[in-house]
A and B are shown apart, each in its own frame.
Chain A
Amino acid sequence: MNNPPDVAQDPKEYEEYAHGIRKHVRGYLLVGAILLTFTAVTVALSYVNFGTQKANIGIAMLVATIKAACVAAVFMHLAAEKRLIYRVLIFTGFFVLGLFWLTFLAWYNPIVR
């Protein structure tokens, strides 16, 4: 979903502009409804036994990731943002993955375990 366009300075163009914004508003309401539905799905799935606790955690995290992607893409307008912001986020992703990688290394450290 693209971001809403900048406001029209020319009053004649305003109605067309407002129509464009209203289309985005419908998108925001739809995503809100999807997020609420997925919250109910997350709760329901947590009471289903998928065999192991790891499987249950994996499925719940998958649903949470889909919800987070909806928030980031639509509400935070990341679906269509400027290149500089993507660059910042690529660095962030790299470092946060590094952080979890350190946790992984600590868990499998043969010296202390």
Chain B
Amino acid sequence: MEIPYTISTRPDTGLWNAKIGIWLFLASEVMLFGGLFSAYVFLRLDAQPGEWPHGLLNVPIGTMNTAILILSSVTVVLAWAALKMRRYNAYWWYMLATILCGVIFLFVKLYFEWPQKFSHYGVFLKPEAREKYEQYLGNHRREEKGLESRIEITGHLENHEALTDPNIKEYEIAMDPVNANPDSPAMDRPHFIPLPATDKVAKIEKEDVERISSFGPWHSAYFASYFTITGLHGAHVLGGVLVFLYMWLPVSKKVYQRNPEHLANRVEVSGLFWHFVDLVWIFVFPLFYLL
């Protein structure tokens, strides 16, 4: 039995069925991401001064990934327009470009951005011990300028064994420039090009440490929401790429040969999903990378 209204429109709605289906699905997606963004707003409002990190993500990489997603939104709509003009070869190339954009986006996220975070550490100091490490925090100057106090020293952990060995009494951190040179006005704002960790090592006694953590989801509410939202978003990108891959493979050419409008409609609904994924990223990028 043939499924009705996959190509022609229903007389009562004026739409073919998959189009209503995808919009209902996107409505549920709005609620899903809306709930997570709502949690983000709540966590951010609830953060104490100095607790919400800034400048911990790589802005050029995030900007590049944003541009890649925008580019893929353009190529997918061009793929659809090519099908509407019955230019299958052009469709094939535009769809390939879309798939590649999605793969590059995921590759950058999974093999570059995320792993870097797990090898970077933050040491949260006990409030009473912060004065002792003033040379790395620069809070006297920040207080005079009305800026939030720093509560954490970040960088690369040199002695990983200190995490498990109770006989080692201090952590050795090759500090980020923000702690290596805390009184520099240049460190008051995050840098566009991230500065690498310095070779200046801070020795921090364990008894002065409230908590030490890599930049994983357990580090802070910021990273918890970052990994949750970008992880869910990444899963959507993967889903979109798999659907596009199916539509790019020869199996879909048979659909085209049977009825080109059928494939065009399929590309339109999957394209609507892809644009939604792009739309979510448009908000994720400034909220996590820039603000």
Contacts and interface: CB of A to CB of B under 8 A. Distances in A.
Contact of B74 (A18, A29, A57, A76): A29
Interface string A1-21: 000100100000000011001
Contact of A36 (B20, B67, B85, B271): B67
Interface of B: 13-15, 19-20, 23-24, 27, 30-31, 34-35, 38-39, 41-42, 45-46, 59, 63, 66-67, 70-71, 73-74, 77-78, 81, 84-86, 189, 192, 260-261, 264, 271-272, 275-276, 278-279, 282-283, 285-287, 290-291
Given A56-B291, A75-B77, 8 more contacts: A7-B264, A39-B285, A42-B286, A53-B291, A57-B291, A76-B276, A88-B27, A107-B46
Contact of B192 (A47, A67, A107): A47
Contacts of A22: 85
A49 B190 CA distance: 12
Majority SS at the chain A contact face:
helix
Given A28-B74, A28-B77, A36-B67, A64 B283 contact: yes
B15 A100 contact: no
Given A56-B291, A67-B282, A95-B31, A25 B23 contact: no
Interface in A45-73: 46-47, 49, 53, 56-57, 60-61, 63-64, 67-68, 71-72
20 contacts: A7-B86, A7-B260, A7-B264, A21-B85, A32-B70, A32-B74, A35-B70, A35-B73, A43-B59, A57-B291, A60-B290, A63-B286, A76-B276, A85-B19, A88-B20, A91-B27, A96-B31, A100-B38, A103-B39, A103-B42
Contacts, number: 126
A31 B76 CA distance: 13
Interface residues of A, number: 50
Contact of A46 (B13, B38, B291): B291
A92 B13 contact: no
Contact of A99 (B38, B275, B283): B38
Interface of A: 4, 7, 17-18, 21-22, 24-25, 28-29, 31-32, 35-36, 39-40, 42-43, 46-47, 49, 53, 56-57, 60-61, 63-64, 67-68, 71-72, 75-76, 82-85, 88-89, 91-92, 95-96, 99-100, 102-103, 106-107
